[in-house]
Amino acid sequence: MLVDSARNLKEKLCKKHQKSLEMFCKTDEMCICVLCGITEHDGHEKVELETEREGKQKQLGGTLSEIRRRLEKKEKKMKETRRTIEQMKISVERVMEEYDKNFTDLIRCIEEAHKKLTEKTKEQEKREMEKT
């Protein structure tokens, strides 16, 4: 644990000047010490680390809010799509039931017509036989 703390402290020091990294060079997008800000990054846009962190945090917060908003919108759309699919399934089931009923009724009607026609034909045959 002590070694990790020392390593973190070393990483937060300027490698060239061994000074604390207190600034952020926006031009080069890197953390720098005050001496680097005066020498190597002179004329660059610089801000305090805390200011940059707060700015990035606000930016990330805005991005996160936008992502959440989009996610909620997509979830709402998915729910609507699922609801539509369920309604379509129910509608298709009703139509199929109606078709089945109509088809069954049609078969029954054809069978009855066939039966009547058969009976009529037999009666007619019987009369013709009696005539002869």
- Tokens coding 59: 């930016």
32: number of Cβ within 10 Å: 24
Element (H, E) at 62: helix 49-131
Q: What are the chain's domains?
A: 1-44 (3.30.160.60)
**Spans in the chain with pLDDT lower than 50:** 1-6, 9-10
Measured from the Cβ of residue 23, the count of other Cβ atoms closer than 10 Å reads 22
- Please state, in angstroms and rounded to a whole number, the distance separating the CA atoms of residues 30 and 122: 105
Confidence (pLDDT) at 132 = 75
Distances (CA, A) of 108 to 37, 94, 95, 128: 95, 21, 20, 30
Full strand arrangement of the beta sheet holding 23-25: 30-32, 23-25, 46-48
